[in-house]
Amino acid sequence: MTVRVRIAPSPTGKLHIGTARTAVFNWLFARHHDGKFILRIEDTDTERSREEYTQNILDGLTWLGLNWDEGPIFQSHRLDVYRQRVQDLLDKKLAYYCYCSEAELDTMREAQKARNEAPRYDNRHRNLTPEQQATFAAEGRRPVIRFKIEDDREIVWNDMVRGHMSWRGSDLGGDMVIARAADRGGIGQPLYNFAVVVDDVDMQITHVIRGEDHIANTAKQILLYEAFGATVPKFAHTPLILNMEGRKLSKRDGVTSIFDFKEMGFVAEAMVNYMTLLGWSPPDSTQEFFTLEEAAQQFSFERVNKAGAKFDWAKLDWINSQYLHSMPVEKLTDLLIPYWQAAGYEFDSISDRAWLEKIASVIGASLTRLKDAVDMSWLFFTHSLTYSEDATHQLQQEGSKAVLEGVLSALNNGTELTEASSQDIIKQVIKAKNVKKGLVMRSLRAALTGDMQGPDLIQSWVILHQRQFDKPRLEQAIATAN
């Protein structure tokens, strides 16, 4: 048997981290078994589906590296197939037309609520005669189509995450609507639980991997698989992603869209690594870093937790920082350029490439997110500085002006500045002014960067010198020291 799994997002919003994590688990399982990973777009909700959301989903999965083997397959292109399968169930007397009005259903629910009963459809139109149907139709009622669910039926399956699962038919809310009413009679828009089963049967899906919030749907869908005489796939219901308070992660907790994470400066490798750890642990519990391919070699549902996975921003930040710190400078520069451009920094990404790579190299070890580079590197792109309180205090220290004048004098002698020659200048100033190295270094940092903390001072000085920013800053600092 060839393993065939699918990810089936609805284009009614941007790619959510919960959907993306489900896609990761599907992808890992398929690759572990040399199977197929199929992308299906469930766009039958015509009122809420948007082309831009579809593109966002495709782009998001591509950015994460979750390449699919088949698809995308659009449900909206298969409406005739669904209608034919509905008709098949009608012909087999496994489904029927229900003419209940919304008012009747509301009255039914209120009565059940008054009796402290769970709301459910009481199957009142299951056995209408042709004459009754004709009467309702003459009244202008448009029927939905319901699938018969027997109350005494027990639905069981062995979930790959949760083990033995059992539902009673009486707990599923009565006969299930599988198609909406049509404007001009006949069979209308198919509903989720019906269309997803038809798709899974036609696409020969062997394993359905999705969030635990679909468990109740699974019981209903198993009945539909059986009604079609199809092999029921195996199911794995993965834990939900929770916030740190234990509630389901939502927009109230900050960003949840995959591209929101990208814009914040998280890299794809870190995102898929972290999402893999949201509910799954590798055999070596100390291993925290792996590529998708490495994770696929080890992945199994025996190591997927039942409990919800808490989303930890600090852990994601740490994982992202480790990827950034070990990233080749060429790749890091490619990723940082868009952030610098968005910040309005002036440079030519081609002719200034070598200079930009030096900036990326000097700040890379301090990055947590790519977006941090905007604040960390602004000093390399600006002509003049605003001093922090600590920097101003340093420039006003006794001896600070003298050492800065000594540094400026050495630069004016035409010395080509490199990391080695900058060290020589510092030594010369220490000797000539008879001061300690700390005073020179602190004064130089304040003068060149406007602050007392920042990236490596010597490397920063060389970078600034290449733009001829160092001399004007020394002159500005000397004036401030006065």
Q: Extract the annotated binding site for ATP.
A: 251
Which is catalytic among the residues 251, 306, 331, 427? Answer: 251
Count of other CB atoms within 10 angstroms of residue 77? 10
CB distance 217 to 176 below 8 Å: no
Q: How far is CA 75 from CA 46, 79, 228, 230, in A?
A: 11, 7, 19, 20
What is the Cα–Cα distance from 442 to 248, expressed in whole angstroms?
Answer: 49
Known catalytic residue: 148? Answer: no
Q: Could you give phi then psi for residue 10, rounded to 5 degrees?
A: -100, 130
User: What does the DSSP assignment read for 274-286?
Assistant: HHHHTTB--SSTT
Query: What is the residue whose two structure tokens read 């900050």?
Result: 254
User: What does the DSSP assignment read for 341-395?
Assistant: HHTT----TTTTHHHHHHHHHHHHTT-SSTTHHHHHHGGGT-SS----HHHHHHH
β partners of residue 73: 40
Annotated binding site: 251
β partners of residue 183: 185
The HSE-up count of residue 405 (CA atoms within 13 Å, CB side) is 11
**Identity (one letter) of the amino acid at 100?**
C
CB distance 257 to 216 below 8 Å: no
CB distance 39 to 7 below 8 Å: yes
CB distance 94 to 227 below 8 Å: yes
Name the helix (H) or strand (E) containing 73: strand 70-74
What is the Cα–Cα distance from 210 to 295, expressed in whole angstroms?
Answer: 19
What is the Cα–Cα distance from 74 to 404, expressed in whole angstroms?
Answer: 68
For 245, the 3-state DSSP assignment is coil
What is the Cα–Cα distance from 180 to 97, expressed in whole angstroms?
Answer: 10
Name the helix (H) or strand (E) containing 313: helix 313-325
Supply 421's token pair.
């020659």
Count of other CB atoms within 10 angstroms of residue 298? 17
Name the helix (H) or strand (E) containing 299: none
Residues noted as catalytic: 251
